[in-house]
């Protein structure tokens, strides 16, 4: 039977990673894969994570099953972190939640729930969006459509076009997938004022927000980055959001994520809680525990939480410092617009206005690796190679 199947092309980012790894030029710069790197180019284990792991190693007494929706303590502490302890919906009983296998697992779990509740709903995603959104959500059978988002000329968000498109095309009960902060792949986020307009717009049209929060704390800080999500949860009768702990805890391979579903009332939340457990059972049965336990221990311990926050701040400041350096280096004739965009954008990614051919030339002639769409992971650079990146970019664009 397996001879009926053809092989599929490798994942574009993985292929780029391999190509960069095989490149023997010593001055190569890997701006491809979306992981945070420190100045030495390593993907570090955070100090608070190491310390929590040591505590777990000493104290953990059993590896028995936890349950289909994971650790209650993990879910509660994550919700407090993301929403803020004084959020009005936190103690309302309206939130059902589940631990998941990374942000990806949470997206799939959420999409599967939507598919069960509203199989005819369309999920609207930004142009462009994180490539994996499409298969993660689409494989449940839900329809996906695009709304305009990133403008490759202005290098910012086309907010009015986004609203006009949704107004004309989305139907009540459809979902709108939004990036909570640090939009992947563009780095272009909605401003607070735009979130303030978006939320009443969605309520008036009966559209349900589905927020993917994968980079909390890596843009402008926890409060700032969580602004839109907190507003949505406060003002919308129903919403869903996913949180990934891959980037801001550096827990990539441990697969730590959360899905939260905000329901109309507490009775509905009880029903949805049971559904989440049942759906997870059909997907992976139970989520992996180790990484979630690390997060729970960090968030539940004042000293560890401070240690984590301090390191998250260091990471964010490094990213924003590199953005500043790149912007300064690009702020010459022909580079002014990109220079402005690079500091206005948030998180690890920016989308540069390069064509596929220019991205290939950057790889072949300058050993600078980025996706063919022009997405760069700024954390893959360092202070000493930024000037070279800027020069090479300007030379291929001229
Ligand atoms: N959403 C977005 C926008 C992402 O960029 C990522 C990671 N690349 C994720 C979700 C999920 O990450 P993970 O499954 O590793 O937690």
Residue given tokens 């590199």 in the structure block:
322
Stretch 355-371: mean pLDDT, rounded? 96
Q: What pLDDT, on a 0 to 100 scale, did the predictor assign at position 324?
A: 97
**Which ipTM score applies to this complex?**
0.99
- Atom index in ligand 1 nearest the CA of residue 106 equals 14
Stretch 287-310: mean pLDDT, rounded? 98
Q: What pLDDT, on a 0 to 100 scale, did the predictor assign at position 317?
A: 98
Distance 184 CA to ligand 1 centre (A): 9
Give the span between the Cα atoms of 204 and 144, in whole angstroms: 21
pLDDT greater at residue 176 or residue 14: 176
Q: What pLDDT, on a 0 to 100 scale, did the predictor assign at position 12?
A: 85
Burial class of residue 252 (count of CB atoms within 10 Å of its CB; 0-12, 13-18, 19+) = middle
Q: Give pLDDT tens digits for 305-326.
A: 999 999 999 999 999 999 999 9
CB 212 near ligand 1, within 6 Å: yes
**Cα separations in angstroms, 331 against 108, 359, 368, 369:** 42, 20, 20, 22
Distance 255 CA to ligand 1 centre (A): 10
Give the span between the Cα atoms of 211 and 175, in whole angstroms: 10
Protein residue closest via CA to atom 4 of ligand 1: 214
Beta bridge partners of 208: 175
Give the span between the Cα atoms of 109 and 261, in whole angstroms: 11
CB 34 near ligand 1, within 6 Å: yes
Residue given tokens 């912007």 in the structure block:
327
Q: Give pLDDT tens digits for 39-69.
A: 999 999 999 999 999 999 999 999 999 999 9
- Most ligand 1 atoms within 8 A of CB, residue of 137, 150, 246 to mutate: 246
Domain boundaries, the chain: 2-45+304-397, 65-300
Q: What pLDDT, on a 0 to 100 scale, did the predictor assign at position 82?
A: 98
Give the span between the Cα atoms of 159 and 33, in whole angstroms: 28
CB 103 near ligand 1, within 6 Å: yes
Say yes or no to pLDDT of 398 above 90. no
Stretch 171-178: mean pLDDT, rounded? 98
Percentage of the chain exceeding pLDDT 70: 100
Stretch 142-164: mean pLDDT, rounded? 97
Distance 150 CA to ligand 1 centre (A): 19
Distance 213 CA to ligand 1 centre (A): 8
What confidence category does residue 150 fall into, taking pLDDT thresholds of 50, 70 and 90? Answer: very high
Model pTM score: 0.97
Q: What is the mean pLDDT of the chain?
A: 97
Q: Are 180 and 225 in contact (CB under 8 A)?
A: yes
Topology (CATH level 3) of domain 65-300: 3.40.640
Q: Give pLDDT tens digits for 110-136.
A: 999 999 999 999 999 999 999 999 999
3-state secondary structure the chain: CHHHCCCCCCCHHHHHHHHHHHCCCCCCEECCCCCCCCCCCCCCCCHHHHHHHHHHHHHCCCCCCCCCCCCHHHHHHHHHHHHCCCCCCCCCCCEEEEEECHHHHHHHHHHHHHHHHCCCCEEEEEECCCCCHHHHHHCCCCEEEEEECEECCCCEECHHHHHHHHHHHCCCCCEEEEECCCCCCCCCCCCHHHHHHHHHHHHHHCCEEEEEECCCCCCCCHHHHCHHHHHHHHHCCCEEEEEECCCCCCCHHHCCEEEEEECCCHHHHHHHHHHHHHHHHHHCCCCCCHHHHHHHHHHCCHHHHHHHHHHHHHHHHHHHHHHHHHHHHHCCCCCHHHHHHHHHCCCCEEECCCCHHHHHHHHHHHCEECCCCCEEEHHHCCCCCHHHHHHHHHHHHC
Protein residue closest via CA to atom 2 of ligand 1: 214
Stretch 283-312: mean pLDDT, rounded? 98
Q: What pLDDT, on a 0 to 100 scale, did the predictor assign at position 57?
A: 97
CB 291 near ligand 1, within 6 Å: no
Q: Give pLDDT tens digits for 183-216.
A: 999 999 999 999 999 999 999 999 999 999 999 9
CB 186 near ligand 1, within 6 Å: no
Protein residue closest via CA to atom 7 of ligand 1: 214
Evaluate whether 2-45+304-397 and 65-300 have a shared fold. Answer: no
CB 140 near ligand 1, within 6 Å: no
Q: Give pLDDT tens digits for 235-248.
A: 999 999 999 999 99
What confidence category does residue 182 fall into, taking pLDDT thresholds of 50, 70 and 90? Answer: very high
**Cα separations in angstroms, 384 against 88, 233, 251, 326:** 46, 42, 28, 11
Active-site residue set:
130, 212, 214, 247
Q: Are 164 and 129 in contact (CB under 8 A)?
A: no
Distance 66 CA to ligand 1 centre (A): 24
Say yes or no to pLDDT of 33 above 90. no
CATH architecture of 2-45+304-397: Alpha-Beta Complex (3.90)
What confidence category does residue 350 fall into, taking pLDDT thresholds of 50, 70 and 90? Answer: very high
Task: Return the exposure string of 216-233: e unless at least 16 CB atoms fall within 10 Å of the residue's CB, then b.
Answer: bbbbbebeebbbbbbbbb
Say yes or no to pLDDT of 386 above 90. yes
Say yes or no to pLDDT of 95 above 90. yes
Percentage of the chain exceeding pLDDT 90: 97
Stretch 223-232: mean pLDDT, rounded? 98
């Amino acid at each position: 039977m397996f001879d009926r199947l053809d092989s599929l092309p490798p994942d574009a980012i993985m292929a780029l990673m391999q190509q960069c790894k095989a490149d023997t030029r010593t001055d190569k710069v890997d701006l491809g894969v979306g992981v945070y790197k420190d100045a030495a180019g390593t993907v570090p284990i955070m100090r608070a994570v190491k310390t929590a792991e040591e505590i777990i190693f000493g104290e953990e007494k059993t590896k028995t099953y936890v349950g289909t929706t994971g650790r209650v303590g993990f879910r509660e502490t994550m919700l407090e972190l993301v929403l803020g302890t004084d959020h009005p919906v936190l103690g309302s009983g309206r939130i059902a939640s589940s631990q998941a296998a990374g942000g990806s697992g949470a997206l799939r779990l959420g999409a599967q729930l939507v598919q069960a509740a509203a199989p005819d709903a369309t999920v609207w995603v930004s142009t462009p969006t994180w490539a994996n959104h499409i298969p993660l959500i689409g494989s449940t059978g839900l329809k996906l459509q695009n709304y305009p988002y990133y403008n490759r000329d202005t290098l910012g968000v086309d907010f009015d076009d986004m609203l006009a498109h949704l107004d004309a095309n989305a139907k009540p009960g459809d979902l709108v997938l939004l990036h909570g902060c640090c939009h992947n792949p563009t780095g272009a986020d909605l401003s607070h004022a735009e979130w303030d307009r978006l939320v009443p717009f969605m309520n008036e049209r009966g559209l349900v927000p589905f927020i993917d929060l994968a980079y909390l704390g890596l843009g402008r800080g926890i409060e700032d980055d969580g602004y839109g999500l907190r507003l949505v949860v406060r003002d919308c009768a129903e919403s869903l959001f996913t949180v990934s702990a891959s980037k801001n805890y550096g827990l990539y391979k441990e697969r730590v994520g959360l899905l939260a579903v905000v329901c109309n009332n507490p009775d509905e939340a009880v029903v949805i809680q049971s559904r989440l457990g049942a759906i997870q059972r059909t997907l992976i049965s139970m989520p992996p525990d180790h990484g979630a336990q690390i997060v729970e221990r960090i968030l539940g311990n004042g000293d560890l939480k401070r240690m984590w926050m301090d390191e998250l701040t260091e990471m964010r400041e490094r990213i924003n410092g590199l953005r500043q350096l790149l912007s300064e280096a690009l702020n010459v004739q022909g580079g002014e617009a990109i220079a402005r965009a690079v500091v206005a954008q948030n998180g690890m990614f920016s989308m540069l206005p390069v064509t596929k051919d220019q991205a290939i030339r950057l790889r072949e002639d300058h050993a600078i690796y980025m996706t063919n769409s022009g997405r760069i992971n700024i954390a893959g650079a360092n202070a000493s190679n930024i000037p070279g990146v800027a020069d090479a970019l300007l030379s291929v664009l001229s």
